[in-house]
Chains A and B, each alone.
Chain A
């Protein structure tokens, strides 16, 4: 039996993916794990790896094609297997009910991995799989609940590329309604013609085309801005100990460690003590993430992507540095893999290198908080009752007030500030 190469689902609301370019041609021998095709998803360009070793054949999606998630786009025949034999059904590797397919698609589940006792995969089988593989547990104990949304809201969200699970629902039982989707998108069509027309004497330049990454960034930020009630906590911290720690760490390890790496290390430690900052507001419940996965906001040519350092709390500083270098490098090269951008629970956005003193970041939905890091600068501070010049940094924690409140946010930020001012506390 040949192995199906399928269009993967990388996020909850993704319906389709676009084939950018095949890295292998039909008839090529591919090794399992080797990149074979570039896919553009809603957030990023990723390379899809061969799910098996063998010969690539029956490529059904050409560059530029937009393909529904879960659809087979090529087959890989094992050596010796008759090429061009009858391909397996294209839609999905197993028999499944339409509802099961829909739910699998929503949760990015590969139906081939779902076990069923009845010979036909049903909704319950998919939900059981989702539950057993879920990295989050809802406050009410049910994992991966289906989000309530009206049919019209679902359709509009799909049309506008919005993730319905992160929208605030105003309907009964927290159901997302059409109005909620409309509130999360800019009513571009409502710009009055008079305003759209250029004022006399003002030259107008045709704006360049917007990339998918940019459009999605715009839509996700709008969703966050209009649905998540933001509040901001600002704290100036003395970073003299952090500066010396960085020097020592670089010397000891020989690795090119950055302030961002140190912050990842510290934030991971603080998230373990303050799990509420590592959560999401979903369908009227607070969903706690069990893993500590920290996203890093990375600027790329056509917008912003947030690759994720998974289980950051388990990594040593050199490992964090290696991971970060790899992720940032591949983000800028447009070579992120699906797994790289999934599962983030908290985000760090550092604009210090751009000379910014402090800024307010927009929460990365569906996360509860994002840490905005300003530059390190020598500033005059009071030290033991005397003015002193010390290196300081301004941290701003943006919080989604549905998942975090002021006190909890402040406790998290306070614990982080204490660690930055005395990193040795990590060892306690």
Chain B
């Protein structure tokens, strides 16, 4: 393992470039993916290496290019469809939910749809209500889809490579606020298996399950908790489907308390599913109800002051953990 550091965006780009070199069937399609190199500059330089036949700019029509992607995947290609904002996935829901997720099943296994939808989640970029949502629970709900949420540069590369090589449709949600975050990323070819959670920090008093950028929030809260004598374990499921239920249950059994933090809306959210898994699997080992912390159930405000209030913060997680541990 080399010790070099990349940003989250560079790690995504490296994964895409390595896979496109390895497999000629892989191509990228979406808005502003070629010359513009993506609004978040994730794809900068790819069109120079692979040309416009493999990095395809499309008109502004999510249903159109998502449909092209599904058809291409059904007929032997391995497309990476770029849906630049998670909010726009709503426009491609028919292609993702009714087509991509169903074709393998409805063809009796004869057809595969090896497609990756790359999109984003996360607020606090002052992008307002239509460009700031975290809608991963929407697609995690659908049988036939796999959903990955990289929490850092290492995961961004490893999960992207696994997604491209997977024969099922995968939706990857990258946190748009993390593209400039740096971290160690091996230069060599590696993948991260789906459905395997990672303990980001070991602890004994409380389990904090966190996804995507909330892993950093949870680790910050864990530091604050350490100062008041509470040892928090932070665990990142890395994929919401398949979900590593056993790891979450085992951790909660060990600590006897759990908090689930996720940037999707709290209601009917990812936090509810994970909390339920823990409550069911670790019931007789729990000393407190499982606590959920999601985004506030409101359209994300444009006002910076208000927007910041809607996202789970280190302080919120810290206070909730303190209360669960009876130290409030």
Contact = CB atoms under 8 A, between A and B. Distances in A.
B326 A152 contact: no
A171 interface: yes
Contacts of A154: 284
Interface in B275-322: 283-288
A151 interface: yes
A177 interface: yes
B284 A171 contact: no
B326 A151 contact: no
Contact of A171 (B256, B283, B285, B288): B288
Contact of B286 (A151, A170, A179): A151
Nearest to B289: A150
Interface string B107-125: 0000000000000000000
A10 to B, nearest CB: 24
A155 interface: yes
Nearest to B288: A150
B287 A178 contact: yes
A368 interface: no
Interface string B69-91: 00000000000000000000000
A153 interface: yes
A179 B284 CA distance: 14
A152 B285 CA distance: 5
Interface string A196-209: 00000000000000
A184 to B, nearest CB: 15
Contacts, number: 28
Contacts of A153: 287
B256 A178 contact: yes
Interface in A347-363: none
A171 B287 CA distance: 9
Interface of B is mostly: loop
Contacts of B286: 150-152
B273 to A, nearest CB: 20
Contacts of A151: 283-287
Contacts of B256: 152, 178
Contacts of B288: 150, 171, 177
B287 A177 contact: yes
Contacts of B326: 170-171, 177, 179
Interface residues of B, number: 8
Nearest to B253: A152
Interface string B238-261: 000000000000000000100000
A170 B287 CA distance: 11
A369 to B, nearest CB: 30
Contacts of A179: 287, 326
- Most chain B beta carbons < 10 A, residue from A150, A170, A178, A179: A150
Interface in A149-173: 150-155, 170-171
A15 to B, nearest CB: 13
A178 B288 CA distance: 10
A155 B284 contact: yes
- Most chain A beta carbons < 10 A, residue from B284, B285, B287: B287
Contacts of B287: 150-153, 171, 177-179
A151 B286 CA distance: 6
Nearest to A170: B326
B112 to A, nearest CB: 44
Nearest to B283: A151
Interface string A386-401: 0000000000000000
A177 B285 CA distance: 11
A178 B324 CA distance: 13
Nearest to A181: B287
A172 to B, nearest CB: 8
A423 B256 CA distance: 57
A385 B123 CA distance: 88
Interface in A59-114: none
A152 B256 CA distance: 8
Contacts of B284: 151-152, 154-155
Contacts of A177: 287-288, 326
A384 B326 CA distance: 59
A151 B285 CA distance: 7
B105 to A, nearest CB: 36
B206 to A, nearest CB: 13
Interface string A324-367: 00000000000000000000000000000000000000000000
A153 B256 CA distance: 10
A166 B286 CA distance: 21
B307 to A, nearest CB: 32
Nearest to B328: A172
A376 to B, nearest CB: 49
B230 to A, nearest CB: 14
Contacts of A178: 256, 287
A152 to B, nearest CB: 5
Contacts of A150: 286-288
Interface in A96-155: 150-155
A177 B256 CA distance: 10
A149 to B, nearest CB: 10
Nearest to A152: B287
A178 B284 CA distance: 11
A200 B283 CA distance: 47
Contacts of B285: 151-152, 155
13 contacts: A150-B288, A151-B285, A151-B287, A152-B256, A152-B285, A152-B286, A152-B287, A153-B287, A154-B284, A170-B326, A177-B287, A177-B288, A178-B287
Given A152-B285, A154-B284, A155-B284, 11 more contacts: A151-B283, A151-B284, A151-B285, A151-B287, A152-B287, A153-B287, A171-B287, A177-B288, A177-B326, A178-B256, A178-B287
Nearest 3 Cβ contacts at the A-B interface: A155-B284, A150-B287, A152-B287
